[in-house]
Structure 1
Amino acid sequence: MPRPCPLRPGHGFECDASPSAAPQPHLRGTAVSDRLSAAALIDLVLDEGSWESWDSPPERGLVSEQYAAELRAAEEKTGLDESVVTGAGLMRGRRVAVVACEFRFLAGSIGVAAADRLVAAVERATAEGLPLLAAPVSGGTRMQEGTVAFVQMVKISAAIAAHKTAGLPYLVYLRNPTTGGVMASWGSLGHVTVAEPGALVGFLGPRVYEALYGRPFPPGVQTSENLYAHGLVDAVVPPEEIADILDRALTVLLAPKRDLEEIPNPVDEEVPDVDTWESITRSRRADRPGVRRLLRYAATDVIPLNGTGQGEFDPGLLIALARFGGSPCVFLGQDRRGQTEDHPLGPGALREARRGMRLAAELGLPLMTVIDTHGAALSVEAEEGGLAGEIARCLADLVTLDAPTLTLLLGEGTGGGALALLPADRVVAAQHAWLSPLPPEGASAIVHRDVEHAPDMARAQGVRALDMRAAGIVDRIVVERPDAADEPEEFCARLGAVLRYELAELWQRDREALVGARTHRYQRIGRLG
Structure 2
Amino acid sequence: MPARLSASDVLDLVLDADSYRSWDTAPVEVPAGPEYRADLDAARAKTGLDESVVTGEGTVRGRRVAVIACEFGFLAGSIGVAAAERIVTAVERATAEGLPLLASPTSGGTRMQEGTLAFVQMVKIAAAVSVHKANGLPYLVYLRHPTTGGVFASWGSLGHVTVAEPGALVGFLGPRVYQALYGEKFPDGVQTAENLYANGVIDGVAAPESLRHLVPRALRVMTGEADEYVDAHPEPVDIPDIPAWQSVMLSRRADRPGIRQLLRHAATEQVPLSGTGQGEADKTVLVSLARFRGQPCVLFGQDRSGQSPETTMGPGALREARRAMKLAEELGIPLVSVIDTLGASLSKEAEERGLAPEIARCLADLVTLNTPTVSVLLGQGTGGGALALLPADRVLAAQNGWLAPLPPEGASAIVHRDTSQAPRMAEAQGIRSLDLLRDGVIDAIIPERPDAADEPIEFSKRVGAAIARELADLRVLPPDRRYEARTTRYRKLGLPR
Q: TM class, shorter-chain normalised?
A: over 0.9
Residue 119 of structure 2 aligns to which amino acid in structure 1?
F
Q: Residue 168 of structure 2 aligns to a residue in which SS?
A: coil
- Deviation of 1:472 after TM superposition, in Å, equals 0.6
Report the counterpart of residue 114 of structure 2 in structure 1.
Answer: 145
Match of 2:264 among 296, 305, 310: 296
| Contact in 2 for aligned 1:415/1:438 (Cα 8 Å) | yes
Q: Which of 383, 387, 393 is residue 425 of structure 1 equivalent to?
A: 393
Instruction: Note if contact 2:226-2:296 (Cα within 8 Å) is conserved in structure 1.
Output: no
Counterpart residue identity of residue 452, structure 2: A
Q: Helix, strand or coil: the match of 1:497?
A: helix
Structure 2: distance between partners of 1:335 and 1:372:
7
The partner residue of 2:51 within 82, 85, 88 is 82
> Which residue of the other structure, out of 418, 424, 430, is the alignment partner of 1:462?
430
What is the CA-CA distance between 1:342 and the residue it aligns to? 2.7
Answering whether residue 478 of structure 2 is matched by residue 510 of structure 1, we say yes
Q: Contact (CA 8 Å) 1:366, 1:404: kept in 2 or not?
A: yes
Written as runs of structure 1 = structure 2, the 5 A alignment for 1:86-485 is: 86-257=55-226, 259-260=228-229, 262-485=230-453
Q: TM-score, normalized by length of structure 1? A: 0.92
Q: Give 1:479 deviation, angstroms.
A: 1.4
Change (3 A) 1:201 1:461: same
| Residue 255 (structure 1) shift | 4.2
TM-score after normalising by structure 2: 0.98
Give the AA of the match of 2:467.
L
Structure 1 residue 488 displacement after superposition = 1.3
Conserved in 2, the CA contact under 8 Å of 1:169 and 1:191?
yes
The Cα shift of 1:258 comes to 5.5
Verify the 8 A CA contact 2:224 2:332 in the aligned structure 1: no
Matching residue's letter, 2:343: G
Output the CA distance in 2 between the equivalents of 1:96 and 1:339.
40
Which residue in 2 is equivalent to 1:60?
29
Shift of 1:243: 1.6
C-alpha offsets along residues 80-108 of structure 1, whole Å, 9 cap, x if unaligned? 11001000011222111100000011110
User: Percent sequence identity over matched residues?
Assistant: 65
Q: Over the residues paired in the alignment, what is the CA RMSD in angstroms?
A: 1.1
Name which of structure 1's ranges 267-276 and 221-230 shifts more when overlaid on structure 2. Answer: 267-276
Displacement of 1:494: 2.0
CA contact (8 A) 2:30 2:82 kept: no
User: Residue in 1 aligned with 2:464?
Assistant: 496
Cα distance in structure 2, aligned partners of 1:62 and 1:303: 45
Query: Is the 1:130–1:168 contact (alpha carbons within 8 Å) kept by the matching residues of 2?
Result: yes
Cα distance in 1 between the residues matched to 2:477 and 2:219:
22
Q: Distance in 1 between matches of 2:483 and 2:155?
A: 31
Letter in 2 for 1:91: V
- State the Cα distance separating 1:343 from its structure 2 match: 1.6
Residues 258-282 of structure 1 deviation map (CA, whole Å, 9 limit, x = unaligned): 623x332222312111111111111
Maintained 8 Å contact 2:411/2:422: yes
Q: Structure 2: how far apart are the matches of 1:491 and 1:42?
A: 42
Unaligned runs of 5+ in 1: 1-28
Q: Deviations over 1:314-372 (max 9, x none)?
A: 11101001101121000011111101223211111111111100100000010000100
**SS of 1:429 mapped into structure 2:** strand
Tell me the distance in 1 between the aligned counterparts of 2:31 and 2:284.
56
Q: SS of the residue aligned with 1:302?
A: strand
Instruction: Give the letter for the 1:227 counterpart.
Output: L
Code of the residue aligned with 2:152 in structure 1: it is M
Deviations 1:35-88 (A, max 9, x none): 121112212221111110000001113221111111111111111110010000
Alpha-carbon distance in structure 2 between the residues aligned to 1:185 and 1:263: 45
2:487 partner SS: helix
* 8 Å contact kept, 1:440–1:458: yes
Whether contact under 8 Å (1:160, 1:189) holds in the other structure is yes
With a CA cutoff of 8 Å and minimum separation of 6, indicate the structure with the bigger relative contact order: 1
| Structure 1 contact 257–508 (Cα < 8 Å) conserved | no
Match for residue 23 of structure 1?
none
The equivalent of 1:26 in structure 2 is none
Alignment deviations for residues 472-492 of structure 1 (CA, whole Å, 9 cap, x no partner): 111001111221111111222
1:510 positional shift:
2.2
CA contact (8 A) 2:381 2:402 kept: yes
Please tell me whether the aligned partners of residues 407 and 423 of structure 1 are also in contact (alpha carbons under 8 angstroms).
yes
For 1:268 and 1:392, the matched residues in 2 are separated by: 36
1:341 partner amino acid: P
Count of matched residue pairs:
497
Q: Please tell me the residue identity of whatever aligns with 1:515.
A: Y
Q: Partners in 2 of 1:374 and 1:217 — Cα distance?
A: 40
Q: Deviations over 1:409-448 (max 9, x none)?
A: 0100000000000000000111111000000000110111
Distance apart, 1:142 and its partner CA? 0.7
Counterparts of 1:225 and 1:490, CA distance in 2: 35
Q: Which runs of 5+ in 2 are unaligned?
A: none
Per the alignment, do residues 257 and 247 of structure 1 end up closer, same or farther by CA in structure 2, a change over 3 Å counting? closer
* CA distance, structure 2, for counterparts of residue 365 and residue 264 of structure 1: 23
d(CA) in 1 for partners of 2:401, 2:277: 31
Tell me the equivalent position of 1:519. 487
One-letter amino acid of the counterpart of residue 153, structure 2: A
Q: Which runs of 4+ in 1 moved over 4 A?
A: none
One-letter code aligned to 1:499: I
